[in-house]
Amino acid sequence: MATHTFKKVLLGLFILTQTVTGSTQETKHPQPVKKRPNIGMSYNLVDFSPSFPRKDSVYGFSLMYWRGISSKLDYSLRYNGIFSNKNQNDIISSNRMSSEAEASLHAKAFRDEKFFNPFLSAGIGIGNYRENRWEPYAPLGAGIQINLKSELYLIAQANYRYSFDEKDLPHNMFYSFGITKSLWAKKKAEIPVVADRDNDGVPDNIDACPDQAGLAALQGCPDRDGDGIADKDDECPDAAGPASLKGCPDRDGDGIADKNDKCPDVKGVARYEGCPIPDTDKDGINDEEDKCPTVFGLARYQGCPIPDTDGDGINDEEDKCPNLAGVRENQGCPAIPEEVKKKVSIAAKNILFVTGSAKLQTSSYKGLNEVAKILQENPEMKLNIDGHTDYVGSEEMNQTLSDNRSASVKEYFVSKGIDESRIRSAGHGELEPIADNKTAAGRLKNRRVELLLSYFQ
């Protein structure tokens, strides 16, 4: 039984140790205030029986000394006087006052300024209950400290006291209610008398301007313009300005003080003395980004005008032949000579097919060869081929026939070495007549292939 109880005591000491460890590692108060030396007295009750019969309870008093180790850990020394009556209690050998001495640690939940402060206790003690016999024991328990202010505390405790020799001294319960008071009163801090020549409330020893009344926020220096910069550090002490400009104003907010800004009301840059980057040609693109700073231009050409690569007076955005000088009437492409147009027209009129098919008649070759030669000599030129029919037969059949005949002409030019990408062919069936389909002469005119040279398609 005693061994089991002793293990409980050891467990309590371990828990107290962990609590103490945590309480001494505070970060909220880097310089915690610990309890100053206190002395006090208490009224005690000791119960030597677990059943707490009144006949086995004795009364006594304590003289106590408490002192802080840290803000949440105290130690105490106490002398206990226990009064007994031999007829009522045989633990104590005679009608006498027995003496006990204890040393304990107390781990508090809070700092001493709290009104209500629970704590855990553990310690070691020794008692003289019989003549020339001293019995050791270990007190382990809990208590409450009540702060009455001015370092006056009410302390109530309940300890289980483990006996190391249960045969002579049984385990017992100890109850205590007492009061402690600090031995020393707090000293009032002496207010030093410091010199303040300019009477600005800032002592001379920390006043950067001891002979000029100033502001505490500026180490005692004045600030005439109220910009938060002491006049001694302010390059414009009579005009408010930011610290970044050494106290000088900047009306346009460009980061250049007005006193150094040639354009103080317009945002600019330092390399132009506070003025904006110039735009000589007034095209909205500043000269540093404008590749043509003296000629009005566009942003997409980095400040230059729309280019005219072939120099024909038609800018490249409007010129269908930007690399070939031409005329505006032909959208910037060269005009097709009349004699060339005539050769192409004759060749087109002489294109004939085998009846009802897309096969070219050999009589068509001469004119087509003339057109092929023109294309070979003018690699920039392109050719449009459009096939047409009369209205004899179904619309679907006529569309197919015109598609095939225009494609047949295209294949002939490709066979002569003309790149296919330069030729466009399309069939239009009977949809675009140029003569009356009701007459034989009209239908003959409507059955045709048109050739058109151009520099774009």
| Whole-angstrom distance, CA of residue 175 vs CA of residue 410 | 122
Rg (CA), the chain: 58
| Whole-angstrom distance, CA of residue 80 vs CA of residue 27 | 37
CA proximity to 437, closest of 392, 407, 388, 380 = 392
Indicate the pTM of the whole model.
0.41
pLDDT over 90 for what percent of the chain? 53
> Quick one: tokens of 224?
């005439």
Which of 45-54, 134-143, 280-289, 406-415 bottoms out in mean pLDDT, i.e. has the lowest? 45-54
Categorize the per-residue pLDDT at 14 as very low, low, confident or very high, splitting at 50, 70 and 90.
Answer: very low
Give the domains, in start order, of the chain with CATH numbers.
Answer: 2-182 (2.40.160.20), 230-263 (no CATH), 338-454 (3.30.1330.60)
| Whole-angstrom distance, CA of residue 281 vs CA of residue 305 | 11
Backbone region of residue 450 per phi and psi (left: phi > 0; alpha: psi in -120 to 50; beta: other values): beta
| Whole-angstrom distance, CA of residue 224 vs CA of residue 236 | 10
- Asked if the model's pLDDT at residue 67 lies above 50, the reply is yes
Please name the amino acid found at residue 154.
L
| Whole-angstrom distance, CA of residue 84 vs CA of residue 47 | 12
Asked if residue 68 lies in contact with residue 74, where contact means CB atoms within 8 angstroms, the answer is yes
pLDDT over 70 for what percent of the chain? 87
Categorize the per-residue pLDDT at 55 as very low, low, confident or very high, splitting at 50, 70 and 90.
Answer: low
Which strands make up the sheet holding 448-454, listed edge to edge? Answer: 423-427, 382-388, 448-454
Per-residue pLDDT of 176-223, as tens digits, reads: 999 999 987 666 666 777 888 888 888 988 888 998 888 988 888 998
- Asked if the model's pLDDT at residue 17 lies above 50, the reply is no
Per-residue pLDDT of 118-130, as tens digits, reads: 999 999 999 887 7
- Asked if the model's pLDDT at residue 52 lies above 90, the reply is no
Whose tokens are 């005539």? That residue is 342
Categorize the per-residue pLDDT at 412 as very low, low, confident or very high, splitting at 50, 70 and 90.
Answer: very high
pLDDT at residue number 185: 61
Per-residue pLDDT of 148-171, as tens digits, reads: 988 899 999 999 999 888 777 788
Asked if residue 303 lies in contact with residue 310, where contact means CB atoms within 8 angstroms, the answer is no
- How does the average pLDDT of the chain come out, rounded? 86
